Amino acid sequence: MQPQTATFGAGCFWGVEAAFRAVDGVTDTAVGFMGGTVPNPSYERVCQGDSGHAEVCQVQFDPTRVTYEQLLTAFWKMHDPTQVDRQGPDVGRQYRSVIFAHSPEQERTARASKVALEQSGTHQRLVATTIEPAQTFSRAEDEHQHYHEKHGGVC
């Protein structure tokens, strides 16, 4: 079976990438930007907050070893999906909680997972995560790739 792609935004992409790299069945990750209007944005440009992009982690995974549902479970646990345009000290639209679906099946699965999370009572507030069709992925500069591995987990 061919590897599949999933793309998630859950705040600063350095931590998101580190969390997904620890999931068995994830075969590769890359950090970058999706969902904006500026072609080929740089990290600096996205941090200005006017490009519309989210910081994202694009995940390649082996569906015989990890399901998309399991990736969604990891995504929900790695951040606070009730925060709007922020995660912890990182504030701005680029830090929004977002799932970019690469297929109608991923979109259906993500929407069902979001409903299940909302109905679980895990969070006191509504889940703010948006689910959108995947767009062009712009890979971030090399110094941002595998950041935690390069810097010992320090942001």
Q: Which residues are catalytic?
A: 12
Provide the residue count of the chain.
155
Distance of alpha carbon 32 from alpha carbon 30, whole angstroms: 7
Q: Which amino acid is at 56?
A: V
What is the residue whose two structure tokens read 């942001």? 155
Q: Convert 9-58 into a string of H (helix), E (strand) and C (coil).
A: EECCHHHHHHHHHCCCCEEEEEEEEECCCCCCCCHHHHHCCCCCCEEEEE
Cβ neighbours around 90 below 10 Å, total: 16
